[in-house]
């Protein structure tokens, strides 16, 4: 039901923001395409999910389908020229991702984290720091823009493995996912360094308002934690939704990544209360795929094919495959026993971050990121296939 709520709200918000809806015929085409897509995707689900062999391709095909759909809708509906639509598309994408991040991050419960092997952290940390340094250097040479560099970095580092988690019980994939468990914390650290340095170098103006805003985040989060105890389930979900609606415009205005606010909200809340562990789990399982598809639909409208960027991203992919081979070689060389059942599903939401952020900066960059992500998944499908054979 939560899923329905999420879908419904985003869809309705999305629609409400297109103010010239009655006057622009192109918008009717856009809605028509969305409508047909809704039917088509469920038929696709029906066809693909009813056979085990086809099930493997379901996710990849769906991704391509939604992206193409978004792309076609944007072209036929000509919404790219609609200023309002373009503006609201960004904020809705940010909200959607922030909500996903919130739900996923609810799994960061101390009692689960402490059960994980301590050996995972240094491996994860080292690999990320090394890759950060290398890629920062590489991107620094290509594009002399710090913001773009750091986002490209996220794109490169992102994994899409979490999207597979609920589709496979593969032991190997689970290892990969567990290895990425510390990534969000490390990325948060990197982002904080970036944010503080941006303030120090004057890229983000620091004044009283931003100071109050930053201070209000933990205070508000503590209030949220308290309210979790007293509110009903429905009210609590709406409360979280409303909080994100309030904080996201501010964080966008002050140049703070909204996803990190969502991350912070979730960590504090999940550790403050024991009230809804099952609900968190269900939210995670239910939200994962549909929210991602909805995001892809919006993302599809950003696509702009640019050959140079595509070549760059394919090169990056090859580099990543090489890098991952070395990384997992180190990891599994040192790590012989599988992590015990910790109750935590894997997640690498940085992939979502990067897609969105790249989209906010440059359409061609975003297209490259999308292609990169899809190619990554083909590689991962290969890993799954190999694991199935083994």
Partner 1 sequence: MLMILTEIFFLGLSILLYYLLGKLAIPFKPFLSLGFIILIAIFNGRLFRRFNLPAITGYMVAGLIISPFTFGLSPVNYIKEFKLIDYFAITFIGLQAGSEMAIRILKKDFKKILTVTILIICISSISTFLFLYALNSVLKGIIIAGTGFIYVLIFLAVFEIAKSPVTTIAIINESGVRNKFTYTILGITIIKDVILVLLFTIVTAMVELSLAGTSGFSMIHFFPILMELIGSMVIGFIVALIFTLYMKYIKINASVFILIFAFIISFIGNTIHINPLITGIIAGFFIENFSEKNRDFTRILHTSAPYVYILFFPLASAVLDISVVPSVIILVIILLILRKIFLIVSFRIARKTVHIDTFTMKYGWMGLINQSGITLALAILIENIFIKYNMAETGNYIKTIAIASIIITDFYGPPMFKYAAQKSKKFFDNTFSK
State the residues that interact with partner 1 by CB under 8 A.
Answer: 1, 3-5, 7-9, 11-13, 15-17, 19, 21-22, 28, 31, 34-35, 38, 42-43, 45-46, 49, 87-88, 91, 95, 209, 223, 227, 230-231, 234-235, 237-239, 241-246, 248-250, 252-253, 290
Provide the token pair at 300. Answer: 């599809």
Residue closer to partner 1 (CB basis): 209 or 325:
209
**Cα of 39 vs its chain's centroid, Å:** 25
* Minimum CB–partner distance for residue 257 and partner 1 (Å): 15
* Minimum CB–partner distance for residue 113 and partner 1 (Å): 30
Residue closer to partner 1 (CB basis): 186 or 291:
291
Closest to 260 in 3D by CA, of 82, 98, 39: 98
What is the Cα Rg of the chain in Å?
21
- Using CA atoms, how far residue 252 sits from 126, 256, 357, 373, in Å, is 31, 6, 12, 25
Provide the token pair at 152. Answer: 């490209």
Residue closer to partner 1 (CB basis): 188 or 252:
252
* Minimum CB–partner distance for residue 95 and partner 1 (Å): 7
H helix or E strand, kind and range, residue 185: helix 183-200
Q: How many CB atoms lie within 10 A of CB 97?
A: 24
* Minimum CB–partner distance for residue 11 and partner 1 (Å): 5
The sign one gets for the Cα dihedral 178, 182, 183, 185 is positive
Residue closer to partner 1 (CB basis): 14 or 154:
14
* Minimum CB–partner distance for residue 31 and partner 1 (Å): 7
Residue entry with tokens 């309210």: 227
* Minimum CB–partner distance for residue 7 and partner 1 (Å): 4
Residue closer to partner 1 (CB basis): 136 or 213:
213
* Minimum CB–partner distance for residue 288 and partner 1 (Å): 12
Residue-wise DSSP of 222-286: HHHHHHHHHS-HHHHHHHHHHHHHHHHHHHHHHT--HHHHHHHHHHHHHHH--S-HHHHHHHHHH
- Using CA atoms, how far residue 26 sits from 20, 22, 253, 317, in Å, is 10, 10, 31, 37
Residue closer to partner 1 (CB basis): 38 or 142:
38
Residue closer to partner 1 (CB basis): 22 or 336:
22
Residue closer to partner 1 (CB basis): 34 or 379:
34
Residue closer to partner 1 (CB basis): 22 or 83:
22
3-state class percentages of the chain: helix first, strand second, coil last, to nearest 5: 80, 0, 20
Provide the token pair at 41. Answer: 């995707």
* Minimum CB–partner distance for residue 9 and partner 1 (Å): 8
Terminal Cα distance for the chain, rounded: 38
Residue closer to partner 1 (CB basis): 56 or 320:
56
Rounded Cα distance between 294 and 96, Å, is 9
Q: Under the phi-then-psi rule, with left for phi > 0, alpha for psi from -120 to 50, and beta for the rest, what region is 255?
A: left
* Minimum CB–partner distance for residue 4 and partner 1 (Å): 3
* Minimum CB–partner distance for residue 76 and partner 1 (Å): 17
Closest to 246 in 3D by CA, of 228, 271, 265, 270: 265
């Amino acid at each position: 039901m939560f899923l329905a709520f999420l879908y419904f709200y985003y869809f309705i918000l999305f629609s409400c923001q297109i103010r010239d809806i009655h006057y622009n015929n192109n918008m009717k085409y856009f809605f028509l395409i969305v409508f047909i897509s809704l039917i088509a995707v469920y038929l696709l689900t029906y066809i693909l999910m009813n056979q085990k062999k086809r099930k493997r391709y379901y996710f990849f095909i769906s991704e391509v389908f939604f992206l193409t759909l978004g792309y076609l809708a944007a072209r036929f509906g000509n919404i790219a020229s609609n200023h309002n639509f373009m503006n609201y598309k960004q904020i809705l994408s940010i909200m959607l991702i922030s909500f996903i991040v919130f739900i996923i991050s609810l799994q960061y419960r101390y009692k689960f984290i402490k059960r994980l092997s301590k050996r995972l952290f240094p491996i994860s940390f080292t690999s990320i720091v090394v890759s950060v340094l290398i890629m920062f250097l590489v991107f620094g040479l290509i594009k002399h823009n710090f913001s773009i560099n750091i986002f490209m970095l996220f794109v490169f580092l992102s994994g899409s493995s979490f999207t597979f988690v609920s589709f496979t019980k593969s032991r190997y994939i689970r290892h990969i996912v567990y290895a990425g468990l510390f990534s969000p914390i490390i990325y948060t650290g990197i982002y904080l360094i970036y944010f503080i340095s941006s303030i120090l170098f004057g890229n983000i103006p620091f004044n009283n308002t931003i100071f109050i805003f930053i201070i209000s985040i933990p205070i508000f989060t503590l209030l949220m934690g308290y309210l979790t105890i007293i509110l009903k389930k429905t009210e609590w979900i709406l409360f979280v939704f409303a909080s994100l609606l309030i904080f996201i415009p501010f964080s966008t205005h002050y140049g703070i990544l909204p996803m990190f606010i969502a991350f912070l909200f979730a960590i504090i809340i999940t550790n403050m209360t024991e009230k809804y562990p099952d609900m968190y789990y269900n939210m995670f399982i239910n939200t994962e795929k549909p929210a991602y598809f909805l995001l892809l639909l919006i993302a599809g409208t950003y696509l702009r094919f640019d050959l140079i960027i595509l070549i760059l991203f394919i090169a990056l992919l090859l580099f990543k495959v090489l890098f991952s081979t070395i990384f997992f070689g180190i990891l599994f060389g040192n790590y012989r026993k599988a992590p015990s059942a910790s109750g935590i599903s894997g997640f690498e939401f940085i992939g979502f971050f990067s897609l969105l952020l790249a989209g906010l900066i440059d359409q061609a960059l975003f297209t490259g990121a999308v292609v990169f992500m899809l190619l990554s998944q083909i590689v991962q499908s290969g890993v799954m296939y190999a694991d199935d054979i083994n």
